């Protein structure tokens, strides 16, 4: 059930199309057969009916982890002999317990700085996550909790993602929040709360609540800050809708000081290829000066086999009257 595709699940006559979509959306979440109760409409009677025909092998069996070390050494006139070291580590046990940490050393002779850590527990119909240190929160892209995506990372906002893009995760970046966050999901309701300080030192608090259904999800969020990044109050509404191979996600946000934000992404996904279109627009009024930032991007990915991935991406950005166009193409083989 963690690896089955749509054709496999359609062989089970007791599953409706909505339940098949929910199972595909939750790939990797099922730790035992009883955890199929995560899917709305599947009760104990249906689990007993499915038991002779399916087997459930967790995607993560046993203990596995990840370790990453990066070293950057550059010579610049303004910052000579600059060295940056980063360490990331993650550990997962039976797909249920996960924890990790992030450490960053900015310069030679300076003791390493602990940047972020997290712990997550996944049970039947319940997920808990705690993050502390440096973290970022994705509640859609209209209500940004942190600085907007820089020009160098313009591709990131339109990177193909699953329809559920709302998450809280640790980061080594200096441009995000420093503090703590707690996320809790019980059944179909997910709640996240956070508090911390932004990159400019101002205090930021926020929360997000959404309801998850097999074919759609909707949520509301709010944030309040006293810094240049988030100045005043902001509120937003976001959604995800999926119908067959096509999904649509979006968010509309507004707030004090003339803040307006819109984000939408449409994606189609088939067995060997996927693609989509994304758009984001932000407007704000700071110190009697209006600013605007708009992104648009189109991408397509093609996977002829399991080891090969071809990708084509193009985007355009309008920021305060300046236009920047970017494109990229890549071919990767494992």
DSSP label at residue 111: P
User: Residue 4 belongs to what H/E stretch?
Assistant: none
Domains of the chain: 6-50 (no CATH), 61-111 (no CATH), 112-333 (2.40.160.10)
Res 286: pLDDT = 65
Is-contact 136 148, C-beta < 8 A? no
Res 163: pLDDT = 35
| CA distance between the termini of the chain | 26
For residue 309, what are its two tokens? 């991935």
Distance CA 96, CA 84 (A): 33
Res 237: pLDDT = 92
What's the pLDDT tens digit per position in 223-255? 888 866 677 888 999 888 888 788 888 889 888
Beta bridge partner(s), residue 323:
318
Res 28: pLDDT = 59
Distance CA 237, CA 135 (A): 22
Any alpha helices (H) in 5-109, and if so which ranges? 6-9, 17-25, 44-50
Is-contact 23 4, C-beta < 8 A? yes
For residue 226, what are its two tokens? 């006293």
Distance CA 180, CA 193 (A): 9
Beta bridge partner(s), residue 232:
225
Secondary structure in 3-state letters for 187-210: CCEEEEEEEEECCCCCEEEEEEEE
Q: Tell me the DSSP string of 215-230.
A: SEEEEEEEEEEESSSS
Res 152: pLDDT = 39
Res 147: pLDDT = 55
Res 294: pLDDT = 85
Burial zone of 81 (CB within 10 Å; 0-12 exposed, 13-18 middle, 19+ buried): exposed
Res 207: pLDDT = 92
**Strands (DSSP E) found in the chain:** 63-74, 82-93, 97-105, 113-123, 126-138, 167-170, 177-186, 189-197, 203-212, 216-226, 231-243, 246-255, 260-269, 273-286, 289-305, 308-319, 322-333
Q: Which residues contact 46 (CB under 8 A, 6 or more apart)?
A: 14, 36
Residue numbers in the chain where pLDDT is lower than 50: 149-165
Q: Which of 177, 77, 73 is nearest to 133 (CA)?
A: 177
- The torsion defined by the Cα of 181, 185, 191 and 192, in degrees rounded to 10, comes to 10
């Amino acid at each position: 059930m963690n690896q089955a595709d749509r054709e496999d699940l359609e062989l089970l006559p007791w599953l409706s199309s909505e339940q098949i979509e929910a199972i595909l959306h939750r790939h990797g979440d099922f730790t035992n057969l009883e955890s199929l109760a995560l899917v709305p409409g599947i009760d104990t009677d249906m689990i007993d009916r499915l038991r002779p025909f399916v087997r459930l092998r967790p995607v993560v069996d046993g203990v596995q982890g990840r370790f990453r070390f990066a070293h950057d050494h550059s010579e610049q006139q303004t910052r000579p002999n600059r060295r940056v070291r980063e360490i990331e580590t993650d550990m997962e046990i039976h797909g249920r317990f996960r924890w990790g940490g992030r450490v960053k050393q900015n310069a030679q002779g300076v003791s390493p700085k602990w940047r972020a850590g997290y712990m997550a527990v996944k049970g039947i119909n319940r997920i808990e996550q705690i993050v502390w240190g440096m973290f970022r929160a994705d509640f859609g892209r209209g209500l940004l909790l942190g600085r907007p995506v820089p020009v160098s990372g313009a591709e990131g906002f339109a990177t193909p993602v699953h329809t559920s893009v709302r998450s809280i995760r640790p980061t080594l970046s200096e441009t995000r929040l420093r503090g703590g966050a707690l996320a809790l999901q019980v059944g179909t309701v997910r709640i996240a709360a956070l508090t911390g300080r932004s990159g400019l030192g101002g205090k930021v608090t926020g929360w997000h609540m959404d309801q998850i259904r097999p074919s759609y999800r909707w949520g509301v969020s709010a944030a309040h800050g006293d810094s240049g990044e988030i100045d005043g109050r902001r509120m937003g509404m976001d959604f995800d809708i999926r119908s067959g191979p096509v999904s649509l996600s979006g968010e509309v946000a507004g707030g004090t000081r003339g803040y307006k934000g819109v984000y939408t992404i449409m994606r189609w996904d088939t067995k060997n290829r996927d693609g989509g279109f994304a758009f984001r627009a932000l407007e704000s009024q700071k110190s009697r000066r209006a600013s605007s930032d708009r992104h648009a991007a189109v991408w397509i990915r093609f996977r002829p086999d399991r080891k090969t991935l071809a990708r084509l991406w193009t985007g355009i950005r309008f920021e305060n009257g300046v236009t920047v166009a970017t494109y990229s193409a890549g071919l990767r083989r494992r």
